[in-house]
Structure 1
Amino acid sequence: MNIIGIIASQRKEGNTAFIVNKILEGAEEQGAEIKSFSFSDLNIKPCLGCWACHKSKQGCVIDDDMQKIYDAIEHVHAIVLGSPIYMGQMSAQGKIFTDRLFARFSPRFSPFFKENAVKQKLILSFNQGNPDAGLFKPYIDYTKHMFEVLEFDVKEVPVITGLRNGPAREREDLPMVLKNFGSSLVSK
């Protein structure tokens, strides 16, 4: 099984990176091949809304690092997308990634154009400073539903809270919980 992680944060060693990497670590321990992409290392531009990806089989015409992710997406069984919550929703990097998935539904990528396509599994992970896990529930539920409409099999939507009190890496309760999410991707 191949799994990629998308770290939709500019903080190279921040909470989102820790969370996504622990989930991937759990999958790797179960035999999955993993790879992660961090926005701190990538140059990904916003979608132009040009529809070139739908007008031909070449895919997205923007020549940036999203091309690496498109290539990886074609060969994975699961994706772990992690984003901090800023201003009540995913980060700008998470939104850019999500918007650029529009090209995925062109004839080049879309499961609608492939016979017997299997939905890719997705763990959609959010983290926030506020300790109230329900604070942004309507947005999180909306985002989960959006990915389901995009033909992803959303397996888990962990929301890691209370990170104003200290970084995720210092919380003793998190590593095993996060690794279990990754393990479940392989075993389900």
Structure 2
Amino acid sequence: MKIIGIIASPRKEGNTAWIVNKILEGAKEQGAETQLFYLSDLNIKPCQGCFSCHNSDQGCVIKDDMQKLNYTIDSANAIVFGSPIYMTQMSAQAKIFVDRMFSRFSPRYSPYFKEESAAGKKLILTFNQGNPDSSLFQTYIDYTKHMFELLEFDVKEVPVITGMRNGPAQERKDLNTVLKNTGSSLVSE
């Protein structure tokens, strides 16, 4: 099984990176092959809204690192996507990536991707936030989960790690096992 991690935080040593890595660690312990991407290291430009991805055999007119990421997603069995919550929603890096996922929306209309490219791929969507109230951004989290379901991902879990203002995630002993178990469950299902 191949699982890719996508970190949508500009902080490589931050909470989001630690959370995604712990989930991948749990999957690796069950024999999964993992690969990690930091969106802040990739050259991904904003969607131009031109519909070329749906209306031509050429796919997206923007030639950047999104093509590499799309092909990696196509070859993966599961994705772990992590973003901090900034200003009540995902990070800017996450938003650019998600907007570029438009080419996957209803892939049957786009010859650029195989029809089965997203259908059935498992997804762990994880958020972390400074505020300790886990329900504070629930509407947005539910909206984002639904958006990935519209893209035909099989969203397995949406762990939301709260209270990050009280200290780094790696200092919370309760999270280590929980996150590794989340990764293990991707493989053992």
Shorter-chain TM range is over 0.9
Q: Percent identity?
A: 72
Unaligned runs of 5+ in 2: none
Unaligned runs of 5+ in 1: none
Alignment TM-score, normalising by the size of structure 1: 0.93
Which amino acid in the other structure matches residue 87 of structure 2? M
Query: Does structure 1 retain, via aligned residues, the 8 Å contact 2:121–2:153?
Result: yes
Q: Structure 1 residue 175 and structure 2 residue 154: aligned?
A: no
Deviation at 1:49, TM superposition (A): 0.8
- Give the equivalent residue in structure 2 for 1:16: 16
Distance 2:43 2:14 in 1: 19
Matches within 5 A, 1:99-178: 99-104=99-104, 105=107, 106-109=110-113, 111=115, 114=116, 118-178=119-179
Deviation at 1:165, TM superposition (A): 0.6
Distance 1:62 1:17 in 2: 27
Deviation at 1:166, TM superposition (A): 0.7
Deviation per CA, 1:22-65: give whole Å up to 9, x if none. 11111111111110110231121111111111122332221211
Deviation at 1:82, TM superposition (A): 0.2
Query: Does structure 1 retain, via aligned residues, the 8 Å contact 2:119–2:154?
Result: no
Matches within 5 A, 1:35-114: 35-104=35-104, 105=107, 106-109=110-113, 111=115, 114=116
Alignment TM-score, normalising by the size of structure 2: 0.93
Name the Cα RMSD after superposition.
1.5
Distance 1:5 1:46 in 2: 21
Deviation at 1:108, TM superposition (A): 2.1
- State the secondary structure of the residue aligned to 2:75: coil
Deviation per CA, 1:49-102: give whole Å up to 9, x if none. 111111223322212111220110110111111000011111111111111111
Distance 1:36 1:22 in 2: 12
- State the secondary structure of the residue aligned to 1:9: coil
Distance 1:148 1:103 in 2: 15
How many equivalent residue pairs? 185
Query: Does structure 1 retain, via aligned residues, the 8 Å contact 2:119–2:153?
Result: no
Distance 1:54 1:28 in 2: 36
- Give the equivalent residue in structure 2 for 1:28: 28
- State the secondary structure of the residue aligned to 2:186: helix
Deviation at 1:110, TM superposition (A): 5.3
Distance 1:95 1:5 in 2: 16
- State the secondary structure of the residue aligned to 2:83: strand
Distance 2:17 2:188 in 1: 23
- Give the equivalent residue in structure 2 for 1:3: 3
- State the secondary structure of the residue aligned to 1:11: coil
Distance 1:167 1:69 in 2: 29
| Runs of 4 or more consecutive aligned structure 1 residues displaced over 3 Å after TM superposition | none
